[in-house]
Chains A and B, each alone.
Chain A
């Protein structure tokens, strides 16, 4: 019995405290419990353009660029307005768990942080970044999760509701106003070189906050003219971009692995597809070719590398894989592709570091021209702003590697060959805006929706589901219909449908 007792004693000692050390065991030794704000900002900025290159390829390139007739891809889908969730869902499904989650967490972190020398500025910048991200989403889909988005942990909201676009706009604008009022006071941020847009330059963020406010204001021109005017006035008074030095673009890296977020996703997707599948669309090539636009040589080449304007030919929109035989010229190598010297081919990564512009000074100047035309704002000099814009648009292409900068002389020659026509100001502005924002198809599409310029001819195809109308938005995604069904249903009722052709709040043109 003595031995029995000994054994019992051992059991009791061993289990004297039956969960000794358990709290330590369940802390992941490989993961931090918080990050500095700047680490989050870099990721939020990189992911603003998509989770990775492959998502960009499936979503933006195949569908978005085709819809707005920048690209004609042999890879069907977007070119003739089919419903294809695996294309149109990419922007949505992969933005929320990446950039949205990160920026919402960043804002939350800063809002709850103890006050410090940079907190207020850091927060203002984070809010501008957040507006940039959400504006791209709402403009592409309409009513979207906004106020409750990204708050799965913060607020325990697993199934966010979809907010009406009008309310989203109101809140985005008020956020920009608050941010600009902070940024206007100068100060400094903690972001430093982790801010891949502006390297922590508060003055540039202030200009961007106002320029983004101007963009949102102009979106509302048709649906709420007076609101648009008042916000545009506020933005202009606050101080918008004043030169190509103020441009917002994502800096990428040439050593990024294929599809990695550190490489330009537009370049990644074009490079791997260009030889056989991706061609520039005829309207885009013709718009430059017919006007002697020096940008043609920068954006367009044949697959053999020729950038001679005479050789360039865009592919008519509306041709997919099964139509190659019906093309006017059945040799796909006769058609222009995104300049092989600028985008590269195959898995050559040397061009992955091409910048991707999210808002340019040229865009701002075009909007100023429009504001001058509509309301006499910005000094009322429509032509002056227009010409400044054209020049800025041509010359900011010098940001691209492997290009020859466009000279002042080339710009002036172009402007004199294609003189501003005040009686047709809005159309001229709209057409130029469309060329200027390439390859930012998200922006090109929105501005086309708002202004109707350029006058794109819809693809006439039996295969589309839009009845010969160019899509106005992307439908809600299958994943959301599965996982957030009630909210999607409410949203589509609120918006008046969930089709490619359903008009969102501001889309009344």
Chain B
């Protein structure tokens, strides 16, 4: 109960409105930004030496009433701008001023860990701020995706499962070999939940990627995002911050800015990017080089001579039906052949043969044009001592996959009030409703429409499969009558679905109702001593319904799965701080505090199978049901402190310390520690203040830090073996050991250390900005789920064994090459390089398998000496000279021998860069972002199956006269042989089954990521109408690739957002989007 004190302390909140009166003369004016002419809202306007002053409103207007001000100075100041002083006349006076950006704008205040505001110059570590506008300019369905290419050292990727898929954000390399490596998200000072609902393993995925939680935050509500990259920056968030912190500050009105309305709308369309796919279109459907319905006439040695029709129409039709997913047929010649459609006689209409010729791009025909509409309206009000902002945001997306959509509504309230001169408060609350209809399948073939759309032979028109189910009155070619309304199958396999059946009949819906709310109370005892208390919750209810309908091949009577999950995260902390100048030159800014973080997840899962009444998709309408309940609770308690001292405003030194206690490392009788103390030190020196530097140097800061972070296990219940009752059989319950993970009663916290050094410089009157950082971090005692042999009875073992190092550099070069009254050009280039190395996996040095390809030939592994997440797989067997060795036992089908299982690539690209430019000419602006990644690879499951089915261009080789292969035989003797042309499919599918090396591709790319061309209404026009600001933009995203190595798929395609990066298989194809956006302020 003790911990609940915090909640009590921090829960009361009041709004207070002050008003003030004055008299005498009036000084008024408008404050604008010099270059753009945009009004500066929130600037401080004071009469020097007095307490009289004001703040500019939304339009930059201010008005001060006072007396006796003659010859006094009116001081106009605003963070990031040069302060302006104007001598007053003592009469009513209009003072319009234009403010100029200040070269030393690093005096800016930034929000650091625990929401502590600090002067940026005092930071001994790198912290990157991204303005909300940058994320909201070209909006995406998840705001964090817009970080890609914008921040050095931040690597963003997404799974290729469409608009509702999850994102992976990795800062300065992964810090755990198998744990969650995503950063902690903090919104308005309160940590958020960000979990991924479902990820795709080696053999599943028809219900796709389950999406994540961070996507729920509307980009229009974001004021700024601070990325705390290093351990020192994040040390105060403790164990959760070991992967870095992304702090989101949401928008609020500024005090004394009056009433305002903001409206923004953005509409984009997403289209399938056909330029990536390059399949063979020469050979059509069929097997062993035959047209459908044909067979070979062979010589006595079995060599194919000529093709003749299989006797009997039924046999021909059956052959066409059996081979409808194989592109191993004959050269397309336009001749009439049977296809799978001839299997069905619908309403007595006997379909004739269709021409054996290219039927057009099936992807283009199958996928819809997607669209995304985002509307946000916000009301703001800022008065004396209070401000608030209310907003509502609506996002509607129709994905490329027919019948897949995403709807998100979010409502937020941010308020701030000065209750009395010593007590201030904030309250932030948002309610988010997320609805996804039919998440897109990925990975597998059963129930994944992408699979069929991709591998279908080029002569089969996919639209012939509409609407995906058997119409009434259908008779099969052999006279039997199929059940109408069931899946219209186009091949015998039950495990490959008609894509329209999936799109039209499968149901994969989820809804999430979420409340994120926090409140802060701050009491200033004196002007240097304060206490704050803060409490926040992130609670959501998630409901998912997944239906495989009655009549589906692989589940002929259908299944239904319902999941209800309640997630709650509660955080609270209290702090006592001082901020005081001890002497004229020495200042102290310190605090101590404690926090409690409690998380609870409860879930109820019900599955039913075999629907009784066809068409009624209800749990009770199934022949059997199973229900299970899951529970997970964790708590972390912490005590922490920070001590910062500065000398003469040019040397800053900060120490932090924290102790965390982890429930996940506690168990009755456990003797090893469940807590750990850790600390950090960081410092900065402002050289431009300390030394006489050349005039060209406006600002130069050196910084360095060293930090230690410890962390507990993320998941509870990993310390002891438990059991599960599985079910009952003939009246007897049965059960066994729960799960496949070997528990570990001795788990202790892991540690991560990080060293960072860097500089931040501004040159040539702030025209050039260079920021550089070098970092090196190391995780030890990593809590890993080490892969175990399944013969141990388990598939993983949780151990404290991993060691992982990352080191890298981050470079930002930005500037304003051109700045004059009409035209400015701002440019920014950032790049990051991260080198990771696994230095220990466990005592025996055995590698850890993270994820596997469906073929089980490639695996993402952590091996000592390798980079994080290396791609391992079976290679070609080669002799000493590198010649491929062949199995020559079948002279008609020589096949490469499977060689060593070895490292074939790296799943995470070490180099990332982004290059953004903004041009302003009068009221026009143009900005674009180009980004890229280098040095990574992927095991392309899509391409490996395209080989198997003869769709890949590479499989054109050998179609005419057989494929000549040469190398050495089993004994190392030189060998040249020919794969008989009718056995080609066996050869190519052998590569798929055995040789991972063949399908490793470089994922290097440079993408033209974003483009925005905008026009703002001129201010002289605005003056005469009620609109304060209006901007119209043409926007585009993922326009084209400047560089790309991989064929057929997007180089960014990934199976999911897990540590198993470097695998992809049958996601949605690459897209590009175009649209317009409009932003208006009233």
Interface residues of A in 16-58 (CB under 8 A from B): 16, 18-23, 25-35, 38-40, 42-44, 46
- Contact A3:B667 (CB < 8 A) given known A32-B723, A255-B624: no
The reply on A222 being an interface residue by CB < 8 A is no
The reply on A493 being an interface residue by CB < 8 A is no
User: Please, which residues of chain B bring their CB within 8 A of the CB of A487?
Assistant: 789
Q: How far is the CA of A33 from the CA of B623 in the complex (A)?
A: 32
* CB atoms of B721 and A330 under 8 A apart: no
Interface residues of B in 217-236 (CB under 8 A from A): none
User: Please, which residues of chain B bring their CB within 8 A of the CB of A156?
Assistant: 742
User: Nearest-CB distance from A45 to chain B (Å)?
Assistant: 9
* CB atoms of A484 and B743 under 8 A apart: no
* CB atoms of B729 and A7 under 8 A apart: no
* CB atoms of A34 and B494 under 8 A apart: no
Which of A4, A89, A105, A196 has a CB less than 8 Å from the CB of B525?
Answer: A4
The reply on B687 being an interface residue by CB < 8 A is no
Which one, B208-216, B851-859, B905-913, B941-949, is touching chain A? B851-859
* CB atoms of A157 and B792 under 8 A apart: yes
Contact with A along B545-585 (1 / 0, CB 8 A): 00000000001110000000000000000101000000000
The reply on A455 being an interface residue by CB < 8 A is no
* CB atoms of B736 and A8 under 8 A apart: no
User: Please, which residues of chain A bring their CB within 8 A of the CB of B732?
Assistant: 38-39, 42, 193-194, 196
* CB atoms of B890 and A39 under 8 A apart: no
User: Nearest-CB distance from B243 to chain A (Å)?
Assistant: 23
Q: How far is the CA of A28 from the CA of B670 in the complex (A)?
A: 16
Which of B523, B736, B790 has a CB less than 8 Å from the CB of A102?
Answer: B736
User: Please, which residues of chain B bring their CB within 8 A of the CB of A149?
Assistant: 791-793
Which of B310, B623, B735, B889 has a CB less than 8 Å from the CB of A467?
Answer: B889
The reply on B973 being an interface residue by CB < 8 A is no
* CB atoms of B478 and A15 under 8 A apart: no
Interface residues of B in 322-381 (CB under 8 A from A): 322-323
For B491, the closest partner residue in chain A by CB is A321
The reply on B717 being an interface residue by CB < 8 A is yes
The reply on B529 being an interface residue by CB < 8 A is yes
Interface residues on chain B, number (Cβ under 8 Å): 113
User: Please, which residues of chain A bring their CB within 8 A of the CB of B323?
Assistant: 322
User: Nearest-CB distance from A386 to chain B (Å)?
Assistant: 35
User: Nearest-CB distance from A491 to chain B (Å)?
Assistant: 11
Residue among A3, A14, A85 facing the most chain B CB atoms (10 A cut-off): A14
User: Please, which residues of chain A bring their CB within 8 A of the CB of B892?
Assistant: 462
Q: How far is the CA of A20 from the CA of B795 in the complex (A)?
A: 33
User: Nearest-CB distance from A267 to chain B (Å)?
Assistant: 15
* CB atoms of B478 and A152 under 8 A apart: no
* CB atoms of B6 and A152 under 8 A apart: no
The reply on A258 being an interface residue by CB < 8 A is yes
* CB atoms of B529 and A4 under 8 A apart: yes
Which one, B410-418, B451-459, B626-634, is touching chain A? B626-634
Residue among B716, B720, B734, B789 facing the most chain A CB atoms (10 A cut-off): B789
Residue among A74, A89, A194, A330 facing the most chain B CB atoms (10 A cut-off): A330
Q: How far is the CA of A64 from the CA of B371 in the complex (A)?
A: 50
Which of A159, A255, A467 has a CB less than 8 Å from the CB of B792?
Answer: A159
User: Please, which residues of chain A bring their CB within 8 A of the CB of B9?
Assistant: 10
For A488, the closest partner residue in chain B by CB is B789
User: Nearest-CB distance from A221 to chain B (Å)?
Assistant: 29
User: Please, which residues of chain A bring their CB within 8 A of the CB of B70?
Assistant: none
Contact with A along B871-902 (1 / 0, CB 8 A): 01000000000000001011011000000010
Which one, A122-130, A238-246, A367-375, A475-483, is touching chain B? A475-483
The reply on A310 being an interface residue by CB < 8 A is no
Q: How far is the CA of A156 from the CA of B664 in the complex (A)?
A: 21
Q: How far is the CA of A332 from the CA of B321 in the complex (A)?
A: 13
Interface residues of A in 176-198 (CB under 8 A from B): 193-194, 196
The reply on B421 being an interface residue by CB < 8 A is no
User: Nearest-CB distance from B898 to chain A (Å)?
Assistant: 9
The reply on B1045 being an interface residue by CB < 8 A is no
The reply on B668 being an interface residue by CB < 8 A is yes
- Contact A463:B893 (CB < 8 A) given known A196-B729, A262-B729: yes
* CB atoms of A14 and B594 under 8 A apart: yes
The reply on A401 being an interface residue by CB < 8 A is no
- Contact A480:B624 (CB < 8 A) given known A26-B663, A465-B889: no
User: Please, which residues of chain B bring their CB within 8 A of the CB of A471?
Assistant: none
* CB atoms of A20 and B2 under 8 A apart: yes
Residue among A46, A152, A331 facing the most chain B CB atoms (10 A cut-off): A152
Which of B659, B734, B743, B856 has a CB less than 8 Å from the CB of A46?
Answer: B734
Which of A14, A39, A157, A324 has a CB less than 8 Å from the CB of B733?
Answer: A39
Q: How far is the CA of A426 from the CA of B275 in the complex (A)?
A: 68
* CB atoms of B574 and A7 under 8 A apart: yes
Residue among B5, B312, B735, B790 facing the most chain A CB atoms (10 A cut-off): B790
Contact with B along A136-154 (1 / 0, CB 8 A): 0000000011001111110
The reply on A361 being an interface residue by CB < 8 A is no
User: Please, which residues of chain A bring their CB within 8 A of the CB of B795?
Assistant: 97
The reply on A135 being an interface residue by CB < 8 A is no
User: Please, which residues of chain A bring their CB within 8 A of the CB of B593?
Assistant: 11
- Contact A483:B574 (CB < 8 A) given known A16-B2, A251-B730, A255-B624: no
User: Nearest-CB distance from A335 to chain B (Å)?
Assistant: 13
For B634, the closest partner residue in chain A by CB is A25
User: Please, which residues of chain A bring their CB within 8 A of the CB of B846?
Assistant: 158-159
User: Please, which residues of chain B bring their CB within 8 A of the CB of A13?
Assistant: 2, 5
Interface residues of B in 502-532 (CB under 8 A from A): 523, 525, 529, 531
Q: How far is the CA of A7 from the CA of B523 in the complex (A)?
A: 12
Q: How far is the CA of A27 from the CA of B634 in the complex (A)?
A: 10
* CB atoms of B794 and A153 under 8 A apart: yes
* CB atoms of A272 and B556 under 8 A apart: yes
- Contact A481:B723 (CB < 8 A) given known A18-B659, A46-B734, A262-B729: no
The reply on A326 being an interface residue by CB < 8 A is yes
Q: How far is the CA of A30 from the CA of B980 in the complex (A)?
A: 60
* CB atoms of A324 and B791 under 8 A apart: no
For A194, the closest partner residue in chain B by CB is B732
- Contact A322:B639 (CB < 8 A) given known A23-B668, A39-B734, A153-B743: no
For A487, the closest partner residue in chain B by CB is B789
Q: How far is the CA of A148 from the CA of B790 in the complex (A)?
A: 12
For B719, the closest partner residue in chain A by CB is A26
* CB atoms of B635 and A33 under 8 A apart: no
User: Nearest-CB distance from A403 to chain B (Å)?
Assistant: 21
The reply on B637 being an interface residue by CB < 8 A is yes
Which of A42, A273, A277 has a CB less than 8 Å from the CB of B734?
Answer: A42
* CB atoms of B742 and A158 under 8 A apart: yes
- Contact A96:B791 (CB < 8 A) given known A3-B525, A158-B797, A482-B849: yes
User: Nearest-CB distance from B639 to chain A (Å)?
Assistant: 6
The reply on B694 being an interface residue by CB < 8 A is no
Which of A104, A196, A478 has a CB less than 8 Å from the CB of B857?
Answer: A478
The reply on A418 being an interface residue by CB < 8 A is no
* CB atoms of A27 and B667 under 8 A apart: yes
* CB atoms of A39 and B624 under 8 A apart: no
15 contacts between A and B (CB under 8 A): A11-B574, A15-B2, A15-B639, A25-B666, A30-B630, A74-B322, A93-B790, A96-B792, A96-B793, A153-B742, A158-B788, A260-B624, A331-B315, A347-B555, A349-B623
Q: A325-B294, A482-B856 are in contact. List 16 more A-B contacts (CB 8 A).
A: A18-B661, A18-B675, A19-B661, A22-B674, A26-B717, A39-B732, A102-B737, A144-B791, A145-B791, A149-B792, A149-B793, A150-B793, A156-B742, A255-B624, A483-B789, A483-B849
B-contacting residues of A (Cβ < 8 Å)?
1, 3-4, 7-8, 10-11, 13-16, 18-23, 25-35, 38-40, 42-44, 46, 74, 83-86, 89, 93, 96-98, 100-102, 104-105, 144-145, 148-153, 156-160, 193-194, 196, 251, 253, 255-258, 260-262, 272-273, 276-277, 321-322, 324-326, 330-333, 346-347, 349, 462-465, 467, 478-485, 487
The 8 A-B residue pairs with the shortest CB-CB distance in the complex, in nearest-first order: A101-B793, A152-B792, A42-B734, A484-B789, A22-B666, A330-B315, A31-B722, A145-B791
